Amino acid sequence: MTGLDSTSRPVALTSSGVDRAAQHRLDEVWLAAAWSHPSTRVFVVSGGQVLVEETPDGTTELVMTPAFDAPETETHRYFLGIDPDGVRYFALQKDTLPGRMDEAARPAGLREVGGLLSPLEAGLMVHAVALENWQRMHRFCSRCGERTVIAAAGHIRRCPACGAEHYPRTDPAVIMLVTDEEDRALLGRQVLWPEGRFSTLAGFVEPGESIEAAVRREVAEEVGVTVGEVEYMASQPWPFPSSLMLGFTARATTSEITVDGEEIHEARWFSRDDLRTAFESGEVLPPFGISIAARLIEQWYGKPLPRPGTGR
């Protein structure tokens, strides 16, 4: 079967259920009406953070208000889409988050709350954070150097001098669970990671390269292992600042490991028993919560990954 097991939860950040309704982005009359509609919901995004609050039943929610309560900055208004109930969503990009509306609200980033928010709210947040990252880093025209202006409700930047239109940038990256003939999984520890933190290998696709070739090249560069068959599994937006993670499984045709020492400090082959023992003893730390890496490892493992000390 291709793809991650659809009977389990979806990959985090991938299933908002919101219609982006791109046909409305250039329609100022429609956008103005949508903005002022009483059912419309708005949240502020600033530096990759939003305000969230915990409800009495323990769930985490995005703090959203009707537009008339939202701090107005027209030029930094992103239209994000329409949900199945017809509610329209906007994000406002601000230099700072607004003061706390009540004691429960607090600032939070996507890595922290991407897995806590509802899929709809996580999807809205990832869209807004990705747009904000792009806007912040592309204020000037790459053709002529003039300052550009926002258009299309946050989805285009236009150059008033040369007329160029600039679109949001997404950088494809491959992330792969490599297995060998014995169905052991190859996990590595990046140079900057703490002792014991192992995960799948990953790397950026280079210009003029297919994603399958990128998988083989990255594995060869990082750990010296040759990969044959490559199978696409699923993708995940990863706006830190602008990546799209393309998840694969890959079959190794060699098993000797030679780490590059620059990106990967240490790499090992794990059987399922090895991994369970290592997780339970705390020798190996589980991968980060919302990353597709955890799902790729879990798919191979066959069930939810054990946590330290659970003895599951």
Which residues of the chain form contacts with Zn ion (CB under 5 A)?
141, 143-144, 146, 159, 161-162, 164
Q: Taking the complex as a whole, how short is the minimal distance between the CB of residue 157 and Zn ion, in angstroms?
A: 10
Q: List the structure tokens of 131.
A: 């747009």
* Structure tokens given for 98: 């607004």
Contact by Cβ (8 Å): 225, 257: yes
Nearest residue (CB) to Zn ion, 101 versus 162: 162
DSSP letters for 255-269: ------SSSEEEEEE
Q: Using a CB cutoff of 8 Å and minimum separation of 24, what contacts does 57-60 make?
A: 59/116, 59/118, 60/108, 60/113, 60/116, 60/117
Tokens (6 digits) for 222:
């990082």
Smallest CA-to-CA distance from 81 within 47, 41, 118, 48 is with 41
Q: Nearer Cβ to Zn ion, position 140 or 193?
A: 140
Q: Evaluate whether 18 touches 82 at the Cβ level (below 8 Å).
A: yes
**Min CB(150)–Zn ion separation in Å:** 15
Shortest CB 134 distance to Zn ion, Å: 17
8 A C-beta contact, residue 144 and residue 170: no
Cβ 152 to Zn ion shortest distance, Å: 17
- Of the two residues 163 and 289, which places its CB atom closer to Zn ion in the complex? 163
Q: Which is nearer to Zn ion, 22 or 162 (CB)?
A: 162
CB of 135 to Zn ion, least distance (A): 16
> What is the rounded CA–CA span in Å between residue 69 and residue 48?
21
Which CB atom, from 28 or from 146, has the smaller least distance to Zn ion? 146
Closer residue to Zn ion in complex, CB, 22/144: 144
303-312: long-range contacts, CB 8 A cutoff, minimum separation 24: 305/275, 305/279, 306/276, 306/279, 306/280, 307/279, 308/279, 308/280, 308/281, 308/282, 309/280, 309/282, 310/280, 311/280, 312/276, 312/280
CB of 242 to Zn ion, least distance (A): 21
CB 178 within 8 A of CB 252: yes
Least spacing, CB of residue 139 vs Zn ion, in Å: 12
Measured from the CB atom, the residue of 159 and 177 that comes closer to Zn ion is: 159
Is the Cβ of residue 146 or residue 262 nearer to Zn ion in the bound state?
Answer: 146
Min dist. Cβ of residue 147 to Zn ion (A)? 9
Name the nearest CA neighbour of 18 among 95, 104, 125, 94: 125
Which of 70, 1, 76, 3 lies closest to 40 in space, CA to CA?
70
